[in-house]
Amino acid sequence: MAAVNVFTSINRIIQGRGAIAQLADEVCRFKARNILIVTDSGLVGTPIPSMVKSLLKDYAVDIYSAVEPDPSVETINACAAYVREYKFDLLIGLGGGSPIDTAKCASVLALNPGSAEDYLGIEKIESAGIPKILIPTTAGTGSEVTNVAVMSLKAAHTKKGIVSRYLFAEAAILDPELTQGLPPAVTASTGMDALTHAIEAYVSRFAQPLTDHFALEAIRLIGRSLRTAVYNGQNIDAREAMLTGSMYAGLAFGSAATGMVHGLAMPLGGQFNIAHGIANAVMLPHVMRHNLVSSLDRYREVAIALGERVEHLSVRQGAERAISAVEALSADIGIPAYLDDLSRSGQGWNE
Ligand SMILES: [Fe+2]
């Protein structure tokens, strides 16, 4: 662990059942008149976008839903062009990581020249964008609290990201009631993405006390709630724990970074269209096994956070329990163990 640590995060999080009712008050903090809700093609078929729009009766509000899963650079640039053309002055990112990342990028591209690919990498954006409020409807990416946006580069068959302080939203609103309708398979894959963020942040070389705090609590929340959220999606306690867990995981990896699982999931998504959370879930136990000896104590803590009893085991045996606990969780929620299984299962793990 480094002697000096830097922790950065979003500075305003509104959280709890019914929190969406605070949206108008949040919008009121800005002098916005012309608001764009950025969502995706799946969510726009549900009542959620119109419900959110109905909360903003005093404003001109448009809905933009041309965002696909794992949005391409072209999709992000098209959304930014729409924002520039119609001079929106506040964006609401509503949905999973795809519309949220699209809204984050479009907000900065509205006031910076060029296109998204000009800013791939770290801190290349020179000035702030228009304000953005982010409202997740999945419990996975944690993108609502991070300064990262990921996009697909179709020609290169991979994904890349923009990291910038200007991608932090002005506020995030986390309302677990908005996640109750999420289908089981999406709950499973996004939940394993969040768990991967937390575990990778906890064993990261850049881990620090603050990221450890959020990472371990995220692992606890996700470990005890994901099965229930998958099999009983209406269980609001499980949904709330998952949404909090994924947000905590976002706060952890936002400063501690992710690791090899995400390094492998990016090309698996870009090359083979495997859903991000599934690619993570499949790779996670294998990468943990590979990395285990580098952090036996920390993997033992992961096992404890996942509810394993390790007090009568050696440190190494305790650490190994973290791997078996992750494998059991993945299996319980129906995620295949190997890449081969993805192509054989035919269950639509690819996006
Ligand atoms: Fe991820």
Angstrom distance (rounded) from CA 51 to CA 94: 11
Query: At 219, which CATH number?
Result: 1.20.1090.10
Residues 79 and 216 in one domain: no
Residues 53-62: tens digit of each pLDDT: 999 999 999 9
For residue 26, report the distance from its CA to the centre of ligand 1, in Å: 27
Q: Which structure tokens are listed for 25?
A: 């008050």
The CA 16 to ligand 1 mean position distance, Å, reads 23
Question: Are residues 238 and 291 both part of a single domain?
Answer: yes
Residue identified by tokens 């992961």 is 302
Tell me the residue range of the domain where 118 lies. Answer: 13-178
CA dist 94 to 98, 125, 293, Å?
A: 9, 23, 41
Distance of CA 24 from the midpoint of ligand 1 (Å): 30
How does pLDDT run across 162-193, given as a tens digit for each residue?
A: 999 999 999 999 999 999 999 999 999 999 99
Instruction: Give Cβ neighbours of residue 85 (< 8 Å, ≥ 6 apart).
Output: none
* CB-side neighbour CA atoms (13 Å) of 190: 30
Please tell me the predicted confidence (pLDDT) of residue 346: 47
Q: In which band, very low, low, confident or very high, does the pLDDT at 158 lie, cut at 50, 70 and 90?
A: confident
Structure tokens that stand for 290 in this block: 């590979």
Verify that 159 and 187 share a domain, yes or no. no
Residue 219 near residue 244 (C-beta atoms within 8 A): no
> What's the whole-model pTM score?
0.95
For residue 138, how far is its CA from the centre of ligand 1 (angstroms)? 12
More confident residue, 258 or 342: 258
Query: What is the number of structural domains in the chain?
Result: 2
What are 110-138's pLDDT values in tens digits? 999 999 999 999 999 999 999 999 999 99
- How far, in Å, from the CA of 35 to the mean position of ligand 1? 28
In the reported structure, the alpha carbon of residue 305 is separated from the centroid of ligand 1 by a whole-number distance in angstroms of 20
CB atoms closer than 10 angstroms to residue 344: 9
- Separation of CA 189 and ligand 1 centre (Å): 10
Per-residue confidence band for 1, with pLDDT thresholds at 50, 70 and 90: low
More confident residue, 22 or 273: 22
Query: Are 183 and 348 within 8 A, CB to CB?
Result: no
350, part of any domain: no
> Is 2 part of any domain?
no
List the beta bridge partners of residue 174: 15
Helix (H) or strand (E) holding 54: helix 48-54
Distance 29 CA to ligand 1 centre (A): 31
7 within some domain: no
Residue 20 domain-assigned (yes or no): yes
Residue 91 shares a structural domain with residue 229: no
Question: Has residue 351 got a pLDDT over 50?
Answer: no
Residues 185 and 92 in one domain: no
The position carrying tokens 């698996």 is 268
**In the structure, what pLDDT confidence band is assigned to residue 2 with cuts at 50, 70 and 90?**
low
